Amino acid sequence: MELDLARVSVRFPGASQPAVEDVSLGLGAGQIGVLIGPSGCGKTTLLRAVAGLEAVATGHIALGGRVVSEVGVHVPPEQRRIGLVFQDYALFPHLNVGENVAFGLHGLPAAERRARVQEVLALVGLDGLQRRYPHELSGGQQQRVALARALAPQPRLLLLDEPFSNLDVDLRERLAHELRAILKAAAITALFVTHDQLEAFAIGDVIGVMYQGRLHQWDDAYMLYHRPATRFVAEFIGHGVFVPARIRQAGDDVVVDTPLGPLHSPQECPLPSAYPDGRCEILLRADDIVHDDASPVKAQIVRKAFRGAEFLYTLRLASGETVLAHVPSHHDHDVGEWIGIRNAMDHLVTFARGAAAGAAPAPPARPQPAAAVAAVA
């Protein structure tokens, strides 16, 4: 494991609660991890602890198997072989591109330093711009210079704190994909902090969702979206709502009564006994709802957001519940109009009604293997 955090907490003097509490995660060599969450959730503090800029109160941080932070142990940042890229780029305005990139290479002979500068500038797509000054570059180019400077000393780990936050949305999305390609080409392990889900999905091999100092889930994007570990992750990732439902047994069938009609034996459904009287809430994603004029279930459009290829409709059911739906943009209905919808859920994610942010969904019922049933009998 190139980066290993075990039960790490960070406390600031005078604070009633830890800024980071009991966080464990790991990154293998060449993996890209992303920390995402709302402002003040602790993601930047955790990044600073990995960099050695904050001390840990409990737990330990190890790089390449060597403990660099724990109570009584604190390896200084400059001895950790970590590259840092911040949102303000921190380029030296009086130095040209080549000199900025070469800044951390003073220990190399001049010829090797020039060769390394040329190598990393080519890697980030800035070959030939060595003599330009920062003010002569676009925001995206300045960000690449900052990345090249961080990569030049061949760090063991690269840390990036919201490096695209000062750029416009279109450029950020493009640079996110380019950054991933650059990091993979360099075979470097990286930990990236952002508040933007699209950036996280574009860059990360594994993504950590943080809230109130705690890491709620450390997983790939698909699992965060389809298999959220807590109610907060379910709410924070993607578009979705919770609607009341009831799970009941109907002979050999398990039925889930929902405002959109009954679901018969849905995938990954818990037993009715998982909740009092089977009453729960189910997570409905916008892609779980399909516009279907032939459906008997109708919903009123209360809001719509144009997304180019699709609309995101906010819909109110006759029962009063609100759901979301992605609808192809050629289905351009008016706000206030009633349209037919149907449930196209692939699997079921359920929570107790009124569950707290840290609550986990009920596990799906798994029938026992025949051999185990026979043994019990």
Give the global pTM. 0.90
Instruction: Answer yes or no: are the C-beta atoms of 310 and 304 closer than 8 Å.
Output: no
State the residue for tokens 């993607």: 238
State the residue for tokens 């807590």: 230
Q: Which two tokens stand for residue 368?
A: 């026992």
Residue among 311, 307, 316 at smallest CA distance from 338: 316
List the chain domain ranges. Answer: 3-231, 239-360
DSSP 366: -
Give the architecture (CATH level 2) of 239-360. Beta Barrel (2.40)
CA distance 200 to 11: 26
Per-residue pLDDT at 266: 87
Query: Residues 237-268: pLDDT tens digits?
Result: 998 999 999 999 998 889 999 999 999 888 88
CA distance 245 to 259: 7
CATH topology (fold) of 3-231: Rossmann fold (3.40.50)
Per-residue pLDDT at 230: 97
Report residue 97: phi and psi, to 5°: -55, -50
Query: Residues 205-215: pLDDT tens digits?
Result: 999 999 999 99
Per-residue pLDDT at 20: 98
Per-residue pLDDT at 366: 58
Per-residue pLDDT at 87: 80
Residue among 282, 204, 197 at smallest CA distance from 244: 282
Per-residue pLDDT at 342: 94
Per-residue pLDDT at 89: 74
In terms of Cβ atoms closer than 10 Å to its own Cβ (0-12, 13-18, 19+), residue 260 is buried
**SS3 for 273?**
helix
**SS3 for 199?**
helix
Kindly give the parts of the chain with pLDDT less than 70. Answer: 366-377
Amino acid letter, residue 346 = D
Q: C-alpha distances in angstroms, 361 versus 217, 268, 274, 280, 286?
A: 13, 11, 10, 10, 19
Instruction: Answer yes or no: are the C-beta atoms of 82 and 189 closer than 8 Å.
Output: no
